Homo-oligomer: A and B are copies of this chain.
Amino acid sequence: MDYRKRIECVLEGTLSQTGSGSTRLVEAMRYSALGGGKRLRPTLVYTVGVALGASLESLDDPAAAVELVHVYSLIHDDLPAMDNDDLRRGRPSCHKAFGEASAILAGDALQALAFERLAGPANQLPEEAVHRLAMVRLLAAGIGTSGMAGGQAFDLESVGRKLDVSALQQMHRLKTGALIETSVLLGAAAAGVLSGPKWHALHEFGAAIGLAFQIQDDILDVTGTTDAIGKIAGADAAHDKPTYTSLMGLKGAKAAAEAQRARACAALTPLGTAGKGLEALAGFVIGRAN
């Protein structure tokens, strides 16, 4: 199953049903959400959910929700007051194309849309409502002060300061790790797995690939080209940001990414054969070139 194609179609559907007081606002949301990106987070939702027996249809809402949140965070992170990035996915970032006000509002509206999708239609069966509410809780926690927003604030406060590897890890665990972990857990929750050994195994798996993802991101900022990664290469060094490569060297960072991949695969044991398909995901996260 090509999950990238599926999520593209799901997002297109969500964003074309969106009524609005402002065409420009919806255009800014569509510009940022459609037609690009690795779609790693929805892929995690689908792959984990299917491995645990959920139907693809039941995974469309959490997959869309987590990607909408990811897109909102990219839009806000790129703003001049934040990372001030002019390029995203090989195109002008949202505020360059639509202006800052529209970019701020597009991010806000995408977050709200994510929760609207996750809540789903009215008149659900009580059992499904329980699962969906658990997903709302997971997603909200992944975004907030103990998740993505907390990590981004931590990151901004670290510019020009010396961080050790443990502080860097803590920062990334929040900034990117939290939402990747959330994606894994949303897949589990949609399949009705909300506690127990499988839940804990996926927690550990999600934490490991979240970290592996960020280490690989830092590696690509050094080894990739602007063309291949779709954002300005070398931006971290230019902003004097602490990274895994600046703290551990390129070789050390590659070893650390591989160690997290191994940790992710080891965590899958309690899932038995259902875990096999997830091993490939861990390999994909550190093998990616963009």
Tell yes or no: A141 within 8 A of B by CB: yes
- Can you tell how many copies of this chain the complex includes? 2
Provide a sorted-by-A list of 10 A–B residue pairs whose CB atoms are within 8 angstroms: A19-B145, A21-B145, A21-B153, A25-B153, A76-B108, A102-B153, A109-B145, A126-B127, A129-B132, A132-B133
Smallest CB gap from A104: residue in B: B76
Interface flags, A58-78, vs B, CB<8A=1, else 0: 000000000000001100100
Closest CB-CB distance, A143 to chain B, in whole Å?
4
Are B81 and A101 in contact (CB-based, < 8 A)?
yes
Knowing that A108-B149, A115-B140, A122-B137 touch, tell me 13 more A-B residue pairs with CB under 8 angstroms.
A20-B153, A21-B170, A22-B154, A25-B145, A73-B108, A79-B104, A108-B108, A109-B145, A111-B112, A111-B143, A115-B115, A116-B137, A119-B133
Rounded to whole Å, the gap between the CB of A73 and the closest CB of chain B is 8
A25–B144 CA distance with the chains assembled, in angstroms: 10
A224 close to chain B: CB less than 8 A? no
Q: B150 near A22 (CB under 8 angstroms)?
A: yes
A144/B100 in contact, CB under 8 A? no
Chain B CB within 8 A of A228 CB: no
Question: A146, B21: Cβ atoms under 8 Å?
Answer: yes
Contacts of A120 in B (CB 8 A): 133, 137
Residue A124 CB within 8 A of the other chain: yes
Q: Which residues of B contact A48 (CB under 8 A)?
A: none
Number of interface residues of A (CB under 8 A): 64
Q: Does A259 contact B (CB under 8 A)?
A: no
Q: A198 CB to closest chain B CB, in angstroms? A: 17
Complexed CA–CA distance, A76 and B75 (Å): 14
**Docked CA distance A108–B114 (Å):** 13
- Closest residue to A15 on the B side, CB-wise? B145
Pair A149/B101 contact, Cβ less than 8 Å: no
Given known contacts A81-B100, A104-B76, A129-B130, A113 and B144 CB-to-CB distance under 8 angstroms: yes
Residues of B within 8 A of A260 (CB): none
Residues of B within 8 A of A129 (CB): 126, 129-130, 132-133
The reply to whether A136 and B109 contact each other, CB–CB distance below 8 Å, is no
A156 and B126 alpha carbons, distance in the complex (Å): 41
Residues of B within 8 A of A133 (CB): 119-120, 124, 129, 132-133, 136
